[in-house]
Structure 1
């Protein structure tokens, strides 16, 4: 009997069973897939370029202005979070603006020499900030750069010998403050003049600043092409600094330099980057600090700005490491950017060297994240910074240590950048003991990690008080010295408002606009007259008043309800009361395109120059009223702006003075009687009415009559 049919049956059965098994296999989901793995070879005997540090910029427009006016306890806490090693951002470098009396983004930094030859080394607040940084970290390196310059310089030409002389005077002021400036630039984002840079280098040498390195051109990589073609220019420049090499705003996923730049043999820097929100921009900062070296061999990173210590109505009001915009309450917020920065700054030092074998993209794919490793000058310690901003799944990294580096315990710190909970930022996560110099770390998406053999890191624990409004009335007679040469809470947008001895026969201290000529400007706003403002943006109904002294023929102004400012001061939502020495006055409205609309105008008695006059601007509901020397000269109604800050200004670059600044709250609406007749009749011209309560069933309205000198209730209808 044949066995073939039985064999075929068995074979068929086996095939059916196999097919069934294959059909029931479950395809692995991405979460079940084997995690991507990266081998990182940390070779101590394979160093790359020298690391020059991670820092930030104070300037480019008043971004640090309010910090000096914070109450002492909170001011010290914020400064610790910025500069104290092992506490917060632990910044390794700080770039200062060389003030020029002109708007340079969100404000104007005062110069040390408003007029030729009159040097005052205490002007402004940058000296104070640098001193505070040095006190916390004596090893911090200082850099400096101009955005604009005083108007007396070079007939308006920045690339002049006058500018070099001015910068040398500024360097002398830095020395008076016991500050050493290690790096010096030219004109921010305005190209370069090769001969000027060569003269700058010569001036530094002749003035004894031989250790100060010249940075050019704080713009783009075009300067590298010019250096490659001109040996004398190349010799004058020590560092090539480019701005926003990762692109302006956005994710900062790619950060290239150029082949020409890399072949110069000079350090390449991201000498300005950032411009991102203190929290939302953290991921971009995390990418760019690593990728600047990986993509472009850049060895330093400067975040713009250092802190958002400026008023909320300014365009870049939340950019920086942290936010500090309420000096009266002491409230502040430490941004997530502080902690992603700390992942580099708390674990490295300028002078360390990159290890090129231990840097790259995880799994060879920039979408998985990046990593860089730096080796200490002691030859044993190292730190690896890993970011997984764009990763979508967990992955692993296996580290192998050799070349004389420590094979001892490593400490792992982590920040969950996707988390809004500050408890998830900059956490000491675990310690790992390598086995024969080898260890593995699991990496989660959206994190920054630092793996280090160093110690001494920490996360500051100071907490701010709650936010609170600045109460009215508010007054400043400018007699009490402020933390800087600017009066408390005032932030200059153009020009330089500084406390000085009063003129016009008045004793004591007054506020004077110091810039006598239009500066060499950096911004291009169509209206560039000097003005300054202060206070709480929620203020609505109030009277702003000040005494004014016309030093020369011209116009002064009080500002009311200063609201949103356009980018780079290219407009302002505000009301202006303008008064001329001729007696001409007007109430004007400006908008965010600097379009001015005259709402009311007139002429009173001539005021003249050399004497003091009191000007008051009342904003009550929709009524705007002007008074000069106690007499109401006119009123008008407008409903464009309901709230905002008060301020002072001059209509051109003239050196007028102010005193006895005050802001008083609006008059509360009186409560009308519930019954009874109207007790007083109206006389004169009523310029505004407001809805009131009812009496005897008829609506009541409050009227300002007799030029605003009486306020009476009247029955309307019924």
Structure 2
């Protein structure tokens, strides 16, 4: 990916060590501080006014982003949970927002409903209550917040209906039965509000014995708070106004400034940043801490929820490195704790919900956002306090003097720091200094790129557990589902749409099977696709996958293979599908992450019928793909587009078909992508890596065809690679005509995906074609993207297998 404001190249270990050392050297107390560009005096006055701090949380949901954590080995699972929830160890989260599952995809998966069909409630569905139990066991004071992204399709009247209110109350009943006390409840994630629905929800909660559950509205913007100014019944029903991505840049933005509106601030109820983040677990740390401090300074928001809690998802799914940590390899136990964890800890380990912000002790360093910010909070004992200082936008060291008054403790303070701009383990949550104030005053120097917690409290700490090495899921792999409890998800099986749960087998077969149990299309949050579920390692290459299928109704079942990069919505994924219907009609389909697809072969075999078991198979060996039914070959095709990926099972629509005896056996070797020159439609010209360079940002150009390594490309899973680098559209996310194309480290981004469409190369994210500007035949002309027009300057002939 080309660099963005929050993306930096990794720093050498020596550089990081020297940075941490210099930070400690420059940390001075009283006397003469280190040379600083700016001096700031902070008035930590305990009598200052300010709003009540409600806590820092994260979001499990929106969706499926905690799925694989449930399948981790017990030791590593416990370590990850400790890093997220254990006080004085890691993120020490004070709140946890849980998705109320609705059987539909809400970003990285489909979370199961507790009620797939009206009146049949299963409180053990999914993993959110389990996760909440684990969080509560580590921190009994943690608060829980429920929110729906989708809802089951049996609901009558749409989401804003009485049926949905009753469904939410059933969910609260399950939470209570599972020992998960829910304090906060929202409406429909990022889908606006219905004032009358919230009024009716308040009444229904009170009548059902949940008068203590506080309603949050509207988990979108500030429109609900605006409307409440002229609707007293609505205002009385809601306890908290929550908005998403109110910090500059929106979803994934830099959070240099934040905003609410005057009506929300004047309302008097707490304002929450009820979803923020969407940032890489390391490079997102500066924006995370800015959103917390500047969220209060700019918008009076007193709570922050990071999306998501963790990326416990397969690495080929969207947002695979986003959250506080990643855990995408349950078979190996490997995980990574991100800098976002330590940026969070700099607040949570030094404050508690119920503390008060001190407005007099909060502001911008040197009066400018470019220098950084500080906020001061006092404890409920009116003596202890913490001042949090962030310098993520600063360019030089600064002097900070803190004057303590108004009943706050004038005793020793403890300084902890994290380098969030250039994170490393050695510079995260470091106990940097203890300071004894003189007459309630002390001075310190803060370095750029850090967050500091200056506190009178104790009990902070940093976990020491380490992850095992990552490893691929070994083949052969099989699961007959006999050890999977009824109504639960099978090991490693990650639902993308619908819900696949273990059920007693039907139609003459004993034991346990997996069934797609969502009978009708849900009320969705993002666009629909067929119901399907993924399993396995994206690095698998040559293999045979087989599964037994029982078509319970007329319709079509799917067996998926070489499933690679997925974009949004979930049906947009690079993979091959083998589809077979009850009539015997079959097809082999190549599907792209852009959402388009190509049928490679189709035909008819003997009718499978319904209510009987059959075995479907797909074999991938190099570029050869063979499909079988009941052991007989249906078709063999050759295609080199996707050479590795997961397997999956699915149905077309929402049939309640059953699956059993999933097996994946290894083939021979690793599929090798075709390699060679990419020739232009302009005679004698080839796509060329300028100078054969491996430096990020080197231009991709046209040049006389010469057979050198600079013109030896491989087409692998939609990526075009040369000299270990990928063909990349400059400035990830840029889609304008004329955007230049270069080479960059391969990262799986949408700006590095290229789809063959005849003899053109289309980037699915932009919909534009790789283009030789002006039909140039001049060596060194840098290629770009442009509206597809079929011209010879957009014709490219890829190497064949």
User: Given the two structures, how large is their TM-score scaled by the length of structure 2?
Assistant: 0.78
Q: 1:530 to 1:303 in 2, by over 3 A?
A: same
Question: Partners in 1 of 2:181 and 2:566 — Cα distance?
Answer: 36
SS in 2 for 1:538: coil
Residue equivalent to 2:254: 251
Question: Partners in 2 of 1:568 and 1:311 — Cα distance?
Answer: 16
Question: Partners in 1 of 2:669 and 2:299 — Cα distance?
Answer: 62
Question: Once the 2 structures are TM-superposed, how far is the Cα of residue 445 of structure 1 from its aligned partner?
Answer: 0.5
**Which blocks of at least 5 consecutive residues in structure 1 are unaligned?**
1-30, 670-718
Question: Once the 2 structures are TM-superposed, how far is the Cα of residue 322 of structure 1 from its aligned partner?
Answer: 0.6
Contact 1:546 1:659 in 2 (8 A): yes
Question: Partners in 2 of 1:482 and 1:362 — Cα distance?
Answer: 56
Q: 1:241 to 1:668 in 2, by over 3 A?
A: closer
Question: Once the 2 structures are TM-superposed, how far is the Cα of residue 34 of structure 1 from its aligned partner?
Answer: 5.3
Question: Partners in 1 of 2:94 and 2:545 — Cα distance?
Answer: 43
Q: 1:505 to 1:290 in 2, by over 3 A?
A: same
- Which range moved further: 548-557 or 418-427? 418-427
Contact 2:332 2:469 in 1 (8 A): yes
Residue equivalent to 2:735: none
Residue equivalent to 2:649: 648
Question: Partners in 2 of 1:305 and 1:419 — Cα distance?
Answer: 22
Question: Once the 2 structures are TM-superposed, how far is the Cα of residue 524 of structure 1 from its aligned partner?
Answer: 2.1
Counterparts of 1:258-337 in structure 2, within 5 Å, are: 258-337=261-340
Residue equivalent to 2:553: 552
Residue equivalent to 1:187: 188
Question: Partners in 1 of 2:642 and 2:635 — Cα distance?
Answer: 19
Question: Partners in 2 of 1:159 and 1:228 — Cα distance?
Answer: 21
What per-residue deviation string (whole Å, max 9, x for no partner) do you get for residues 125-157 of structure 1? 0011000000000000000100000111115x1
Question: Partners in 1 of 2:99 and 2:54 — Cα distance?
Answer: 20
Question: Partners in 2 of 1:223 and 1:462 — Cα distance?
Answer: 44
Question: Once the 2 structures are TM-superposed, how far is the Cα of residue 420 of structure 1 from its aligned partner?
Answer: 3.7
Question: Partners in 2 of 1:423 and 1:183 — Cα distance?
Answer: 37
Question: Partners in 2 of 1:482 and 1:462 — Cα distance?
Answer: 31
Question: Once the 2 structures are TM-superposed, how far is the Cα of residue 481 of structure 1 from its aligned partner?
Answer: 2.8
Question: Partners in 1 of 2:354 and 2:147 — Cα distance?
Answer: 23
Contact 2:36 2:399 in 1 (8 A): no
Q: 1:506 to 1:570 in 2, by over 3 A?
A: closer
SS in 2 for 1:76: helix
Contact 2:36 2:396 in 1 (8 A): no
Matched, 1:98 2:105: no
SS in 2 for 1:154: coil
Larger radius of gyration, structure 1 or 2? 1
Residue equivalent to 1:214: 215
Matched, 1:375 2:378: yes
Question: Partners in 1 of 2:211 and 2:73 — Cα distance?
Answer: 39
SS in 1 for 2:191: coil
Question: Partners in 2 of 1:91 and 1:421 — Cα distance?
Answer: 21
What per-residue deviation string (whole Å, max 9, x for no partner) do you get for residues 354-391 of structure 1? 11110000111111100001111111111111100011
Matched, 1:78 2:117: no
Residue equivalent to 2:743: none
Contact 2:281 2:338 in 1 (8 A): yes
Residue equivalent to 2:26: none
Residue equivalent to 1:15: none
Residue equivalent to 2:785: none
Residue equivalent to 1:576: 577
Residue equivalent to 1:473: 476
SS in 2 for 1:339: helix
Contact 1:540 1:561 in 2 (8 A): yes
The correspondence for 1:116, drawn from 85, 107, 118, is 118
Residue equivalent to 1:428: 431
Question: Partners in 2 of 1:56 and 1:484 — Cα distance?
Answer: 27
Counterparts of 1:404-553 in structure 2, within 5 Å, are: 404-481=407-484, 485-525=488-528, 528-553=529-554
Residue equivalent to 2:617: 616
- Report runs of 4+ in structure 1 exceeding 6 Å deviation: none
Matched, 1:42 2:50: no
Question: Partners in 1 of 2:525 and 2:585 — Cα distance?
Answer: 32
Residue equivalent to 1:65: 67
SS in 1 for 2:474: coil
What per-residue deviation string (whole Å, max 9, x for no partner) do you get for residues 413-448 of structure 1? 001123342111110001001111111111100000
**Which blocks of at least 5 consecutive residues in structure 2 are unaligned?**
1-32, 671-801
Contact 2:627 2:634 in 1 (8 A): yes
Matched, 1:341 2:340: no
Q: 1:283 to 1:482 in 2, by over 3 A?
A: farther
Question: Once the 2 structures are TM-superposed, how far is the Cα of residue 567 of structure 1 from its aligned partner?
Answer: 2.7
Matched, 1:169 2:170: yes
Question: Partners in 2 of 1:514 and 1:228 — Cα distance?
Answer: 44
What per-residue deviation string (whole Å, max 9, x for no partner) do you get for residues 559-607 of structure 1? 0000000134251100000111111111111111222211111111111
Q: Give the RMSD, CA atoms, in angstroms.
A: 1.4
Q: 1:253 to 1:570 in 2, by over 3 A?
A: farther
SS in 1 for 2:376: strand
Question: Partners in 2 of 1:191 and 1:154 — Cα distance?
Answer: 19
The correspondence for 1:87, drawn from 86, 89, 96, is 89
Question: Partners in 1 of 2:173 and 2:337 — Cα distance?
Answer: 34
Q: 1:483 to 1:348 in 2, by over 3 A?
A: farther
Question: Partners in 1 of 2:485 and 2:437 — Cα distance?
Answer: 55
Question: Partners in 2 of 1:34 and 1:555 — Cα distance?
Answer: 69
SS in 2 for 1:123: coil
Question: Once the 2 structures are TM-superposed, how far is the Cα of residue 621 of structure 1 from its aligned partner?
Answer: 1.1
Question: Partners in 2 of 1:374 and 1:623 — Cα distance?
Answer: 64
Matched, 1:389 2:405: no
Question: Once the 2 structures are TM-superposed, how far is the Cα of residue 248 of structure 1 from its aligned partner?
Answer: 2.4
Contact 2:397 2:448 in 1 (8 A): yes
Question: Once the 2 structures are TM-superposed, how far is the Cα of residue 507 of structure 1 from its aligned partner?
Answer: 1.0
Question: Partners in 2 of 1:535 and 1:396 — Cα distance?
Answer: 53
Q: 1:372 to 1:482 in 2, by over 3 A?
A: farther
- Which range moved further: 63-72 or 411-420? 411-420
Contact 2:486 2:503 in 1 (8 A): no
Contact 1:315 1:568 in 2 (8 A): no
Contact 2:84 2:90 in 1 (8 A): yes
